[in-house]
Amino acid sequence: MPELPEVETVTKELDRKLKGKKIARVEVRLSKIVSFGPGTVSNIRKSSQRAASDFRKKLVGLKVRSVSRRAKLLIFDLSGPYSLLVHLKMTGQLIYLKAKEKKRKIKMFNRVDAPELLMPCKHTHVIVVFTDGSKLFYNDIRQFGYLKLVADKQLSYVKELLEFGPEPLSRDFTLKVFTDILKRRPNMPLKQLLIDPRLIAGIGNIYSDEILFRARILPTKRAKILKPKEILSLYKAIPYILKKGIKAKGSSVGDFIRTDGSWGSMGKYHYVYMRAKLPCKICGTIIKSIKFNGRTGSYCPSCQR
DNA sequence: TATATTGTTACACC
DNA sequence: TGGTGTAACAATAT
């Protein structure tokens, strides 16, 4: 499940690998994945055939200037001037193949018995071929993700770019900003507050669980009853855990893989995520899980208060 | 075959 | 108006 650290990992890898490359050819194997223009993805998906054709034609000949990230959204800055927005959602993967490398087998899941599939595979929905022969594959098992091409002058109309909260690793994310967010949602359980992208960008299920454990605060706790000391430890835990995730090149507990098909190692350091019914690494208490609007969260009932 | 899975949006209600 | 809660949606693996 790509969240901020996973998307950041992919961003850095692709920025390094794709910078300056020119797009020679684009193959869209599943048209609903791609769209063109600033409209909402669901609107565009209705006319996906035409959009796919526009998408392909516009991309050919453009150069990659840089790859960056906002929340969990990848932004390819292209010549033209266009930008390609890529959201991996649950199971999206971007796999890069060097020019000389003709074949690559990838394990799509971090499981011993996962099948090794030759790229492109049945889950490859878009292929971008560069003029030097290198390739970028977009794989997505659930097909929830998307690639959206937007003219730069229309970027300010892209709804999903406008509504994000502050980047938790930026200088703008001060203690005051965080305290104000808590004030705006006094009754929201902290678990839900942390994963709401309109409040803070980029945090999902994995990292919200780990952040709350790091701060030793229960996911069910509401913002209004936090003591100043708890607010501070929660505030500090956010960049601490996200940076740890980036350093480990992401968490491959689910389907996340890096652009070369390798796995991130953050999963080894999880204290609670995906550890329900296992003993807490600190105190041995059995980790519990709880549902928030259909989302599962895990916590240690002894360490977290 | 039913269910779990997630980020995000839509919408109803207060 | 805006906070809050719930449902819906995409498609697949198990």
Q: Residue A156: which pLDDT band, with cuts at 50, 70 and 90?
A: confident
Catalytic residue among A72, A191, A214, A249: A72
Report percent pLDDT > 70 for chain A. Answer: 93
Q: Which of A202, A200, A204, A208 is nearest to A299 (CA)?
A: A208
A222 is catalytic: no
CA A66 to chain centre: 18
Query: CA(A124)–C1'(C3) in Å?
Result: 41
The whole-angstrom separation of Cα A61 and Cα A96 is 19
Q: What is the mean pLDDT of residues A158-165?
A: 80
Given this model, what pLDDT does residue A43 score? 47
Q: What is the mean pLDDT of residues A165-190?
A: 90
pLDDT winner (highest mean) among A104-108, A110-114, A151-155: A151-155
At residue A234, the 3 state secondary structure works out as helix
Amino acid at A289: S
- Does at least one atom of strand C sit less than 7 Å from the CB of A155? no
- Does at least one atom of strand C sit less than 7 Å from the CB of A46? no
Q: Residue A46: which pLDDT band, with cuts at 50, 70 and 90?
A: very low
- Does at least one atom of strand B sit less than 7 Å from the CB of A295? yes
Catalytic residue among A198, A268, A295, A305: A295
When computed from its CA atoms, the radius of gyration of chain A, rounded to whole angstroms, is: 20
Tokens 């990292």 correspond to A207
- Does at least one atom of strand B sit less than 7 Å from the CB of A180? no
The more confidently predicted of residues A44 and A31 is A31
A3 is catalytic: yes
Given this model, what pLDDT does residue A282 score? 95
pLDDT tens figures, A233-278: 999 999 999 999 999 888 766 667 888 888 888 888 889 988 888 8
Token pair listed for A10: 């992919």
Dihedral angle over CA of A140, A209, A270, A203, nearest 10: 50
The mean pLDDT of chain A is: 87
List of residues 6+ apart from A271 with CB closer than 8 A: A210, A213, A214, A280, A281, A282, A300
Q: How far is CA A246 from CA A27, A201, A299, in A?
A: 31, 15, 22
Token pair listed for A147: 């690639």
pLDDT tens figures, A72-110: 999 999 998 899 999 998 889 999 999 988 888 887 776
Given this model, what pLDDT does residue A109 score? 72
- Does at least one atom of strand C sit less than 7 Å from the CB of A302? no
- Does at least one atom of strand B sit less than 7 Å from the CB of A197? yes
**Exposed (0-12), middle (13-18) or buried (19+): which is A233, by Cβ within 10 Å?**
middle
A275 is catalytic: no
Catalytic residue among A2, A120, A168, A189: A2
Residue A133 in contact with residue A99, Cβ under 8 Å? Answer: yes
